[in-house]
Chain A
Amino acid sequence: MRGFILSTTILFTLIASIGIASISLVQAVEPDEVLDNPILEARAREISKEVRCLVCQNEPIDSSNAELAKELRIVVRERLVAGDSDDDVKDYLSSRYGDFVLFRPPFKASTFLLWFGPLLVLAIGIIGIIFFFRGNRTQKIAAPLSAEEQNKLQQLLQDGQEPPQKLNSDNKGEAS
């Protein structure tokens, strides 16, 4: 597998350097690629925005000038004309080129942290804030608050008075 990846990488690099050397005459979607059926063409455009041009630096085939991107754009359209669904086309591409070809990373064990990481950060933040507000009143740590306790906490917090630090801090910007 490693060898395969390495050799394809080298191959792509070669293709890319040839592309640069001959000053590629291709630029994004070319008129001759456009399908006659506007619905299919629109689908092709949407798919191409999610497909990576493998020889470029982080560019979708939709906007890339590379020869390979042009080939992939034609492949996408051929599959659509042959009756593939959008997902079929993407599956086809990722089976040929690996997950790397799709800008939408797949859901699988190795990408769980990627997809759920933001939620995790949010959850940690929320827990941190809850502890912060509880710590404001009491150092005791108990089970999570029930709605009733939450209300009570609110009540308590609102009864809480201004701390004495106020005097030495700068407070002239304060609202009533």
Chain B
Amino acid sequence: MIAELGQFALIMALLAAISQSILPLIGAERLDSRLMAFGSHASLVQLLFVILAFGCLTQAYIVSDFTLLNVAENSHSTKPLLYKISGVWGNHEGSMLLWVLILALFGAAVAAFGRNLPVTLKARVLAIQAMIGVGFLTFLIFTSNPFTRLLVPPENGQDLNPLLQDPGLAFHPPMLYVGYVGFSVAFSFAIAALIEGKVDAAWARWVRPWTLTAWIFLTGGIALGSWWAYYELGWGGWWFWDPVENVSFMPWLMGTALLHSAVVVEKRNSLKVWTILLAILTFSLSLIGTFIVRSGLLTSVHAFAVNPERGIFILILLAIAIGGSLTLFALKAPALKSGGMFSPISREGGLLLNNLLLSTACATVFLGTLYPLFMEALGGGRVSIGPPFYNKTFIPVMVPLFFLVCIGAYLPWKRADLVGVLKRLKYAGLAALLALLIAWYISDGGPLLAILGLGMATWMLLGTLSEWADRIKLFRAPLAKSWQRAKNLPGSSWGMTLAHGGLAIAIIGMISTTAWKVEDVAVLKPGETLSVAGTDYRFDGVKEITGPNYSAVEGTFNVSQDGVYMATLKPEKRLYTVKRMPTTEAAIYSTFVGDYYAVIGDPDGKGGWTVRIYREPLVTWIWFGCTLMVFGGLVSLADRRLRVGAPADKRKKKKVREAEA
């Protein structure tokens, strides 16, 4: 009965979305305020029905209602409650329902927070948002219904893939989806602006918080995913250039570009056409990501051909959404008036260069991800594209970007004196050179590229800090005055410093752990010790343990350095009873300078166990850096000037001379 209610709710949501996508548009055209206001009400109704549907499915998972095909295929009665709930989106149908839920949430949020939006713009934005909803609700109802009943329900379910039964992966998909789907608002605003034929600073100010919100979640989601891969997959890697990762990385790259170009529209009323295009492209990449993952194209073109119904459906959706929006762009964009002029060497010029490099980087990932599919589809044979390709193409694009980050932050609007800026960065440059030499010394002249990379990341970090110090006149004014200035810095300026600094720290972690990772594998008998990178791992044997839905062997390692005890590591090797699938649960001792990572493998039948030990220098810096980036985004979001409609406090602003980011 509850499942049928969910089914009914989905249909009602679809009807609400259909009317929401038509009436407000007509209203905006005829300036009929009642029709325009309908959009806000409909978006709320749509949200309530989607919440109801989502609740129904969640309920079915919690009580293990195996009369539902979806629950029977993806759940099991012995699964812990957390994974019963996260199992709702751990499968195709449920994850699409989550997608639709988040989309409806964003739509309703625009309706609720957008009180100060011009009524026609708001009506159009909500209508576009609803059109996306119509597409995905139709997809859900007609090709991926989560409420399909089974005539003969099984006694128990087939369980969720054990790799997904992990706290990290329970929250990874929702965060990622908020990121993906959040860009739909920027998209809707862009399309609405094209219909209105007007883009101005106010428009950019409304778009920025939504884009920033999406970006924050996407950054967090990607970081969470890579952290999960690091501790769960059992060999200490954190990024694989896997298509699944790439499709989330592409909207991130484009979204980051959008975030920066929207600043130019807001502050200088320039780069409008380009920003609109970026908004369209960013959400298109989110759609493509959803499409690639959901259509089975990832495994191979053949998997797609076997069950083409869903794939074709999303392909048509993509064609309408991307083709339609780009056509509208081509028709309407030329009419947009361009605003403030600027010299190539200026804040605007710097942000434009940022956009150019990020777009190129995104194109690289796009080609690397989709080329094999195109080649296979066109009968050109199969190729594999992996890390060696990205090392040769992606990294060379990103290096100049990283190098220029702190220079760009120093540039004033309109025109800048590059020599003057570089002079102000001389201490950061000298310190980065020093760091480079220290890295050289410590690593014994280790991989040259890694050492240069560390120098570059240090430059980026110190340059960012030096810009912040200059801004608050640190050491050049009395400390109390600097403190006062720091407190008065706008949130978006703090956000920039935090995010750029976080990025630099993450890069330091990435380079160090890639270049100086040490690993060893051996067969150890209880009592034996393996020495890896100066640390001793004494194997103290294994014992069998039983979890709620798995059995496992747990090894114990005593970790010490020069006889001084450091930690006890207890890696597990689990066997999930329903799926008969083994997983590794690495044990990690994290420190500021690096991780000690142990994995227990299989017995050799002669009393020994295969043991893998990894030493990962500075690896936690990656996620610490990402956390700083997310935090920077949040601080920037809290900036009152970004809050829609918040009246600016002019007097206060005049006091703080800000070269705002």
Measuring CB to CB, which residues of chain A are less than 8 angstroms from any residue of chain B? 5, 9, 20, 23, 25, 27-31, 34, 49-50, 52, 57-60, 63, 98-106, 110-111, 113-115, 117-118, 121-122, 125-126, 129, 132-133, 136-137, 154, 157-158, 160, 162-163, 165-166, 168-176
Contacts and interface: CB of A to CB of B under 8 A. Distances in A.
A121 B299 contact: no
B393 A129 contact: no
Given A118-B367, A121-B363, A125-B356, A103 B381 contact: no
B416 to A, nearest CB: 10
Q: Which 8 A-B pairs have the closest CB atoms?
A: A103-B386, A104-B388, A175-B659, A121-B363, A173-B660, A100-B382, A169-B201, A118-B364
9 contacts: A50-B388, A60-B386, A117-B364, A118-B367, A154-B343, A169-B339, A170-B202, A175-B657, A175-B658
A28 B521 contact: yes
A175 B660 contact: yes
Nearest to A30: B610
Interface stretch (B234-242, B425-433, B438-446): B234-242
B386 A104 contact: yes
A105 to B, nearest CB: 4
Nearest to B379: A2
B607 to A, nearest CB: 14
B310 interface: no
Given A58-B240, A169-B201, A52 B386 contact: yes
Contacts of B375: 110-111
A103 B389 contact: yes
A25 B570 CA distance: 20
Max chain B Cβ within 10 angstroms of own Cβ: one of A23, A58, A98, A122: A58
Contacts of B601: 27, 30
B116 interface: no
Interface in B192-236: 200-202, 205, 233-235
B356 A129 contact: yes
A171 B267 contact: yes
Contacts of B360: 118, 121-122, 125
Contacts of B269: 165-166, 169
Nearest to B378: A110
B344 A176 contact: no
Given A23-B582, A114-B368, A105 B385 contact: yes
Contacts of B602: 25, 27
B383 A111 contact: yes
B575 interface: yes
Contact of A166 (B338, B340, B368): B340
Contacts of B415: 157-158
Contact of B381 (A59, A99, A125, A126): A99
Given A102-B384, A104-B386, A175-B413, 9 more contacts: A57-B242, A58-B240, A63-B237, A105-B371, A113-B371, A114-B371, A114-B385, A114-B389, A169-B200
Contacts of A172: 648, 650, 653
B382 A122 contact: no
B29 to A, nearest CB: 25
Contact of A27 (B338, B397, B610): B610
A94 to B, nearest CB: 10
Interface string B357-392: 001110110011001000100001111111111000
B341 A157 contact: yes
A63 B250 CA distance: 25
A113 B385 CA distance: 13
A105 B341 contact: no
A136 B346 CA distance: 15
Contacts of B522: 31
B521 A29 contact: yes
B149 interface: no
The number of chain B residues touching the other chain, given as a range, is 35 or more
Contacts of B582: 23
Interface of B: 200-202, 205, 233-235, 237, 240, 242-243, 266-269, 298-299, 302, 338-344, 347, 352, 356, 359-361, 363-364, 367-368, 371, 375, 380-389, 393, 397, 412-415, 490, 521-523, 575, 580-582, 584, 601-602, 610, 612, 641, 648, 650, 653, 657-660
A100 B393 contact: no
A162 B521 contact: no
B381 A165 contact: no
B356 A99 contact: no
Nearest to A49: B387
Contacts of A129: 352, 356
Contacts of A171: 267
Contacts of A158: 343, 415
A45 B2 CA distance: 54
Contacts of B240: 58-59
Given A57-B299, A170-B205, A175-B660, A118 B397 contact: yes
Contacts of B397: 118, 122
Contact of A23 (B205, B343, B580, B650): B580
A60 to B, nearest CB: 7
B633 to A, nearest CB: 18
Given A25-B602, A50-B388, A173-B660, A98 B352 contact: no
A126 B602 CA distance: 55
Contacts of B242: 57-58
Contacts of B657: 175-176
A42 B325 CA distance: 51
Contacts of B575: 23
B521 A31 contact: yes
B382 A63 contact: no
Contacts of A60: 386
Contacts of B380: 110
Contacts of B658: 173, 175
B340 A162 contact: yes
Nearest to A34: B521
Contacts of A63: 233, 235, 237
Contact of A115 (B302, B343, B352, B393): B393
Nearest to B345: A154
Contacts of A106: 383
A39 to B, nearest CB: 16
Contacts of A133: 344
A125 B359 contact: yes
B356 A122 contact: yes
B518 to A, nearest CB: 12
A152 to B, nearest CB: 13
A103 B385 contact: yes
Contacts of B268: 169
A134 to B, nearest CB: 11
A56 B343 CA distance: 52
A78 B61 CA distance: 51
A103 B298 contact: no
A58 to B, nearest CB: 5
